[in-house]
Every structure is written in structure tokens, then in C-alpha cells.
Chains A and B, each alone.
Chain A
Amino acid sequence: MSRIPLGRWVVAVPMSLLALATIYPLLFTVNVAMKTRREYILDRFSLAGDLRWENITTAWTSVGMGRYFANSVLVVTCSVVLLLLFGSMAGFALSQLRFRGSSALFLGCLAGLFVPFQVIMVPLARIMADGGLIDTYPGLVLVYVAQFLPFTVFLMTSYYKTIPPDIVDAARIDGNSVYGVYRRIMLPLGTPALLSVGILNALFCWNDVLMSLVMMPSADHRTLMVGVTSLRGQYSNDIPTFASGVLIAAIPVLVVYLFLQRQIADGVAAGSTKG
């Protein structure tokens, strides 16, 4: 590794300060969530007296965070499964099979990357309403799949391009149909890419608020992030409970990050370098 002069230690000081600035807001929130209201009003920064879970329970039950949590899990799971299925099918066909119109179809999929949800929000809501899909779980799932499919197809195509075509040929000679090759060879071989893309898609769907806000008007169908926005009005005077609600919504992501940060970063990096 090259060593460039000029104090590697000098930059360590601002870098540590920045690391602190990055992590402190979350630690602050965790601490507040464990405090009583009285403790918070008396001193914003003092450490919580002891670990208290009442605020978490209050947030979980009183604004229906439990319900929202379940809604999010359902919608995100279905979306990710469909994204991986459709993405890997298309990725396999576009990278390994030669057929008329394949490059046009690939470009068509890619074009979707440049259409943000904000730009098509109004007509998409109307299409969903016409199809009777507004305010339904399948409707939101479909919107998420449409939103993240271009990226998924793109990554799966570039991943499958790295697999030698001989493998497909050999499997065909062994008597597999194209579908057999997909199911028995390509799907298992794609595991590392599917894992990365799946985690990224799960994060994107879990973290979304705008699509869910537009597609799920009724309170019963709210997803967790929309639920968090309604916490603020409810608990504007009870900061510890508010902080607890925020924490509930953040915990799954924190856990995923702790265990799978490598895969997440790899997925982001792959999206930027491939192609």
C-alpha cells in the first residue's frame, strides 16, 4: 500500500470527530428512549437512570406500531421475493440467452432507472385506483416491485454475465429445458448477488415513506415509516415515548446493518461500477 506523507494522524482527528457526529444522534435517541419524561426535562444529556422499557411498550401499543410493523414485514417480504424472482429471471435471459430484441428489452428495463417515483406519482396512483389496487397490500407491493425492478434487473444481468455460457450449454446438453437451467443452475449460482440485491431492496422498501403514504390512505394499512410520522403529533410533549417509537422502527435496520454491512456496501458498490 502506498504511503503518502503528510500526517495520517492529523486527519484522524477530524475523522474521529465526524465519526462521533455520525453515531451520537442515534446514541442520544437510545438514551432518551430509556428516560422518564421528568429525567428528560431536567437534563437532556444525563444518562438514563436505568434501562426502562415502558416507553417502548407505550409506543408499541398506543399508536398501533405493532400493526404497522406487521404491515411493513408483509409488504417488504412479498416485494423482495417478487423482485428477486422477476429480476433473476430477466437477468438470466438477458445475459445468457440470445434472442431477438434482447438488447432493446434490456434498454427498456434500464430506462426505468431514470424515472423517479415523484415524477410518475400522479398517473401511477390513478392507474392503481383504476385497477382497484389503491389501499391494498398487493397494490403497494406492485409499486415497490416496479420501483426497484430496473435496478434489480440491471444488477442481476451484470452478475450473470460473469458466469461462463458453457455452463448453460452443458446443462442444455444434459437435457435441461431453459426453465430447468434457470431453476437448477442459475438460481443457485446467483445466490451471492440475490443476497446483496435482496438486502438492499428490503432496506429500500422498509425505509420508504412516500410511496406508502400515497398508495395506502387508510390508517389500518399504514406501514411502519408512515406510522412513525404520526408519532410526532401524538407525543409532541412526551419526547421519551416519541424516541422509543423511532427506535422501534430503526431496530430492524440496525440489526441488519450490524450483521450484513459488507453485503449492503457491496450491493451499493456493484450498482455504481457495473456496466
Chain B
Amino acid sequence: MPPAHRGGTRSRRRGRGTERLAPYVLVAPAVLIIVVLRLYPLLLGVNFSLTGDGERNGTVVGLDNYLELFRDPLFRTALGNVGLLVLLLPVAVAIPGLLATFIYLRVPGHRFYRSVYFFPAVLSPVIVGAIFNLLLAFDGPLNAILGSVGLAPVDWLGDPDVAMFMVVGVHVWATFGMALVVFLAGFATLDSALLDAARVDGASLPQVIWHVIVPSLSRTIQFVFVTTMIGMLTSMFGLLFVMTSGGPEGSTYLPEYYIWIQQGQMNRPALASAASTALFVIMLVVGLLQIKLLKRAGKED
């Protein structure tokens, strides 16, 4: 349907040709940029991952990069950490979900809580990482508190068994406000008659959450699950870079950090591309799996 037929001014319009092209002219910059700088690189990267690095640059090496990738202990640690993120995901979703519930139910001071909780979400991961570098330093304030109550200091960012938990913890600290706002937007669509009915029936708060809020907000919960997971996989770089640089002993690697190291420091772009492709596949699988699981859980309710 050409747009010229919509108005009644056909006869007065000269240059009908350019008018008909107008929609294409308007979308052209956006489409060109997105296709050339986002979609095409995705294909290029997959292609790239099948070629060699260094002296084998440009030659097709099949799946060699992938084999090397999965033999690399650093990449395996990165995958293990992805597993850890998946395990911690329900906590990272439940915290903002619960807080949003309380704010929705108007606990005293709900407006204040809302703006305070959201605030770290606007800070750069670099800023957040730097602030927690101060707080978690071995001779820093947190250990000073531990010392004053007679506890031994903990090497928060230097102990391989502790560091990853600290980085994830800080990430959750910094991002739960984002999920909180999304939950509140979901609550805006909730039918308050359901809550009134539950109240009349004498339901307790946990019952209300489980039987009214969770089923009604299933779409929002689904959305938060997927975006929180994607956030964990793709927006921790700043924290990792500033807080631990992947250490101690490579214990805080995530695929995104691995890609950056292989590309920037090790000069292994093809290997980095293989890791990129693996990260993309992980994101697809995790995303689709979550949607499927959550849909099924929603149906059983």
C-alpha cells in the first residue's frame, strides 16, 4: 500500500516518487547501521572462529579453536562461573521481586526506598567496582570492622574461593534496582481486585505472593529472569576489570572477560571469536530454557 493513497492530495503532489520512497529513507540509517555493525559481524564472527590465529591466519581450521577453547582451563573456569551465575539467579530475581512487592503494598517510606534502591543501577560498573575495591581492600574498612569485633581479616578479592562470590554480590548490589523498576512496572498491570479478594479471604502475605502475585506477574518474572541472566553474562566486564582483573588464579573469569583477554592481550582473535560464538550459544540456550521452564511452571499453577 503506497502511502500516497492515504491522503486526498494526490493531484497536488509532485515528486510522488520521492514521497513513496520516504519511509525507506527514514528507516535507512537505522537499518543500515544495525545490519552492518551488529548482524553482519555476528556472521563474520562465526566464520572467523573457524579460521586460525597467528601463522595460520586466514586458513580454515575447522573446529580447532573450539577444541582448544574447551581444553583451556581458564575458559572452563569461565564456564563454571556461568554455572554459578545460573545457580544464584533465583536469588538475584527474588530480592528485587520481594522488595517490589513490599513497595507496591506501600510499606511506610516506599517512595524513599524506591529511589534509594534504584540509584546504584545508574552508576557505571567501573565506578561501582572502584568503590568496592576501597571497601573490600585487605587493609580496608570491611576488614577493619571484622578486626574490631575480633575476627580475622578475609582476603575478599584475593582468595580464589571468595573472589567470584564478591564480584557477583557486588553485581547484584548494583543491578537489583533495575529489576525492581521492571517489577514495579509489572505491578502496575496487576488487578488490585484480586488482592482485595485475597485480603477478604484472610490470606497471609506469603500466600498472597505465592497464589496471587506470582501467577499474575508471570510475564514480568520471565522477563526479569532472562534479562538478569543476560546482564550477568554481559555487563560484569567493568567489575571484573576493576575489581579482580580475572584473578586470583583466574578464578573470576567469565566468557566476556576471556574474549577480551584473548582479543586484546593474547592477540588470538580467532580463538576469541570461538569464545564469542560459545557465549552467544550459551545465552540463547539459557534464555530459551528459562522461558520454557517458566512457562511450564506458570501452567501448573
> A51 contacts the other chain (Cβ, under 8 Å)?
no
Report the interface size for chain A: residues with CB under 8 A from the other chain: 101
Check B280 for interface membership: any CB of A closer than 8 A.
yes
A123 touches B41 (CB 8 A): yes
Alpha-carbon separation in the docked complex, A270 to B2 (Å) = 31
A213 and B36 CA atoms in complex are apart in Å by 21
Overall SS of chain B's interface: helix
Contacts of B117 in A (CB 8 A): 18-19, 22
Q: Contact check: which of B134, B195, B269, B283 meets A116 at CB < 8 Å?
A: B283
Q: A2-B195, A253-B122 are in contact. Are A178 and B3 (CB under 8 A)?
A: yes
Evaluate contact between B119 and A23: CB separation under 8 angstroms: yes
B134 and A169 contacting across the interface, CB-CB below 8 Å: no
Pull 5 A–B residue pairs with CB atoms less than 8 Å apart, ordered by A. Answer: A12-B109, A93-B26, A108-B31, A209-B124, A229-B241
Whether A86 sits at the interface, judged by CB under 8 Å, is yes
User: Which of A44, A118, A125, A147 is within 8 Å of B144, CB to CB?
Assistant: A44
Q: Does the CB pair B48–A122 fall under 8 Å?
A: yes
Question: What is the bound-complex CA distance between A15 and B111, given in angstroms?
Answer: 12
Instruction: Give the B interface residue count (CB, 8 A).
Output: 102
Scan A200-228; emit 1 where CB is below 8 A from any B CB, else 0.
00010011111001100000000001001
* A268 in contact (CB, < 8 A): yes
Pair B38/A112 contact, Cβ less than 8 Å: yes
A11:B107 contact, CB within 8 angstroms: yes
Most chain-A CB neighbours within 10 Å: which of B31, B233, B242?
A: B31
Contacts of B112 in A (CB 8 A): 19
Give a binary string over A21-55; 1 marks a CB under 8 Å from any B CB, 0 the rest: 11101101100100000000000110000000000
B150 at interface, CB cutoff 8 A: no
Chain A interface mostly helix, strand, loop or mixed?
Answer: helix
B29 interface residue per 8 A CB criterion? yes
For the complex, what is the distance from the CA of A177 to the CA of B1, rounded to whole Å?
Answer: 17
Q: State how many angstroms separate the Cβ of B11 from the closest Cβ of chain A.
A: 12
- Say if the beta carbon of A89 comes within 8 Å of chain B: yes
Q: Report if A234 contacts B (CB, 8 A).
A: no
| In the complex with contacts A5-B205, A179-B22, A268-B182 CB distance below 8 A | yes
In chain B, positions 2-46 with a C-beta closer than 8 Å to chain A are 2-3, 6-9, 12, 19, 22-24, 26-27, 29-31, 33-42, 44-45
Q: Which residues on the A side are within 8 Å of B196 (C-beta)? A: 2
Known: A5-B204, A8-B106, A264-B122. A122 touches B26 (CB 8 A): no
Contact B181 A268 (CB under 8 A): yes
A106-146 contact mask (Cβ, 8 Å, vs B): 1 or 0: 00110110111111111111110000000000000011011
**Cα distance, A153 to B29, chains bound together (Å):** 11
Least Cβ–Cβ distance between A264 and chain B, in angstroms: 6
Does B73 reach chain A (CB closer than 8 Å)?
A: no
Residue of A nearest to B114 (CB): A265
Q: Contacting A146 at CB < 8 Å: which of B38, B230, B277?
A: B38
CB nearest to A247 among chain B residues: B127
Q: What 18 new A-B contacts, CB under 8 Å, besides A6-B204, A92-B26?
A: A4-B105, A9-B107, A16-B109, A22-B177, A93-B27, A97-B26, A99-B2, A109-B34, A120-B45, A122-B272, A126-B269, A127-B36, A145-B33, A146-B37, A173-B8, A179-B22, A210-B260, A229-B242
- Which of B80-88, B160-168, B183-191, B290-298 forms contacts with chain A? B183-191
B5's nearest neighbour on chain A, judged by CB, is: A98
Chain A residue contacts of B115, Cβ below 8 A: 261
Interface contact A242-B124, CB-CB below 8 Å:
no
Chain B residue numbers with a CB within 8 Å of A115 are: 38-39, 41-42, 280
